[in-house]
Amino acid sequence: MLAHPAYRARTVYGGQALIPALLLLSLCGVAWVALYNLGQVAAARARLTHAADAAVYSAALEQTRTLNLLAYINRAQIAHQVAMAHLVTLATWAKFSDTEAQRRAMGNPPTYLIGSLFGTKAQRSYSAGRPSGGAAHEAARAYQAHDDLVYGTLLHAAQQAVATLPRQREAMIQAILRANYPELQGQPQSLQWRVLSDGWPGYVRSRSGQALRPLAYAAVGRYDFLQPRNFTRTNNWIVQKACPQKRHELRRRGETRMDGDGNWSSFDSLSYHSLRWNKWIGCYYREYPMGWGLAGDRLGGDTVQRAPEDFSSQDFWRWVSANTSWNIFSGVSNPLADAYAWMESVSPRGRGLPDSHEVSSAGETAPLRFAIAVRQQAASLPVSGGASRIAWAGAYALRVFQPGDGLTVNAAAETYFVRPQPRGDGKNEKPTLFRPYWQAHRVAANAGEQFMAHGATR
């Protein structure tokens, strides 16, 4: 049976419409895949950018922690120097108290004589000396313990912090990237990073221990206990007609100092200087040591390290003339007490001022910059032809990236110095490793870093 003409026409026209519909459907599929890929690329780039920003900021924070650690170590080093200066001074005061008690017990000179010549205050002070029970040597051992901390702990920690910072940054970056891309663990080639710029080399310089000397002296200058302990009391009576302008004297001398190697030393002495006269040399001072103590080495002065314990068998002035160059006519020191102190000195062992770290001249004018590039290989990207399951097979496969391509982003951060509050004098403060005012922030990559980001990955 022949079909109705109208039915045949509808069939022909229906078959002709199927082809455009299929073409349109194909175009819609291509557009859908392209839109899908565009969204996936945008999402992948945003994810990679966030991961790179977090990684570089974490690296900058690691730099910040290192610089602040160095600042705290430097300040701790100064604090230890103050403590060591106190310890050597305590050692000499303990030794001074021991010897003062001995001389008072011997009555050389007697307590009443000091009181009658120089007053009750001087007499009470002379009577206050007590045996310290080995406190001087305890202070010397404590000094050595501080020295061990200075070198064995603080200096070692500072040197390790400077040397290991690049490795610490690298470990931080790796940890951040692993945390952001757990699915890529075990695929080291899928996610790579490299350094675009690194201001760390040369940013911090090592300085010899002598650089701490003025800072240590400035710190100990805040303590009255460590200041020079010098005064002279003079009796009012005329003693000798041959030299009516001179009087009996009570000389207290003491000082805490640092030697050329950076070791602290201290000395304290107290002597009664009795004005005498004879026809051979005229008026002179006969010294009677009342107390002494020495820790370390006293700098300068003419010190005889061996002196008689008493002068019952020889004249004081003859021994001085034959063995020393002391000025016993108008001197201002206690040379005999110093000589006794040398014979009984306490020797705290130390290695002097330690090395320290400070910002280099370049670091004083620019923040510490660090920038990286992070690249994700195309094979691991969630796009068609990559890690996505959406792909067309065959010669007509739709690919967003060619084999070997990938997605690359860059990120940068800075570690900078800023005071939490402005200075009271209104001045700007240069970056320094003696104040823990270091912070970090992200910054935009510069043109050079953006250009380098397209090179070979690390």
> 323-350 pLDDT, tens per residue?
888 999 988 999 999 999 998 899 888 9
What pLDDT shows up at residue 453?
81
Between CA 414 and CA 367 the distance in angstroms is 6
Identify the residue with better confidence: 136 or 389: 136
The percentage of the chain sitting over the pLDDT mark of 70, rounded to a whole number, equals 84
Residue 143 lies in a domain: yes
What pLDDT shows up at residue 404?
60
Q: 438-443 and 406-417: which strand pairing?
A: antiparallel
Between CA 318 and CA 420 the distance in angstroms is 68
249-258 β-sheet, strand order: 231-234, 249-258, 264-278, 282-295
What pLDDT shows up at residue 392?
47
| CB atoms near residue 82 (< 10 Å) | 17
Q: What is the DSSP letter of 354?
A: P
Q: State the pLDDT confidence band at 426, using cuts at 50, 70 and 90.
A: confident
pLDDT digits (tens, 9 = 90+) for 211-229: 999 999 999 999 999 999 9
CA 247 to chain centre: 53
Between CA 232 and CA 253 the distance in angstroms is 9
Between CA 195 and CA 454 the distance in angstroms is 12
Residue 133 lies in a domain: yes
pLDDT digits (tens, 9 = 90+) for 434-454: 999 999 999 999 999 998 887
Between CA 369 and CA 323 the distance in angstroms is 67
Between CA 279 and CA 416 the distance in angstroms is 77
Q: State the pLDDT confidence band at 6, using cuts at 50, 70 and 90.
A: low
Structural domain of 323:
80-153+213-343
What pLDDT shows up at residue 457?
46
Between CA 367 and CA 421 the distance in angstroms is 19
Between CA 53 and CA 33 the distance in angstroms is 30
What pLDDT shows up at residue 127?
93
Residue 65 lies in a domain: no
- The answer to whether the Cα torsion of 264, 269, 275, 281 is positive or negative is negative
What pLDDT shows up at residue 441?
97
Rg of the chain in Å (alpha carbons): 42
Residue 395 lies in a domain: no
Between CA 68 and CA 433 the distance in angstroms is 7
Q: Which residues pair with 372 in a beta bridge?
A: 195, 411
Between CA 187 and CA 191 the distance in angstroms is 8
Between CA 233 and CA 96 the distance in angstroms is 19
What pLDDT shows up at residue 395?
41
Percentages helix, strand, coil for the chain (3-state, rounded to 5) are: 45, 20, 35
Peptide bond into 109 cis (omega under 30): yes
Give the chain's mean pLDDT.
87
Instruction: Please report where in the chains the tokens 């005012």 appear, as a residue.
Output: 437
Residue 362 lies in a domain: no
What pLDDT shows up at residue 454?
75
pLDDT digits (tens, 9 = 90+) for 363-412: 899 999 999 999 988 777 776 666 655 554 444 445 556 566 788 999 99
What pLDDT shows up at residue 394?
40
pLDDT digits (tens, 9 = 90+) for 19-65: 676 666 666 655 555 565 667 677 888 999 999 999 999 999 999 99
- pTM equals 0.84
Residue 316 lies in a domain: yes
Minimal CA–CA distance to 76: which of 215, 256, 262, 226? Answer: 215
Find the mean pLDDT for residues 281-296: 95
Q: What is the DSSP letter of 134?
A: S
Between CA 357 and CA 202 the distance in angstroms is 11
Q: Which spans in 181-272 are helix H?
A: 213-220
* CA distances for 184 relative to 4, 177, 195, angstroms: 66, 10, 21
pLDDT digits (tens, 9 = 90+) for 107-123: 999 999 999 999 999 99
Please count the structural domains in the chain: 1
Minimal CA–CA distance to 140: which of 347, 354, 352, 343? Answer: 347
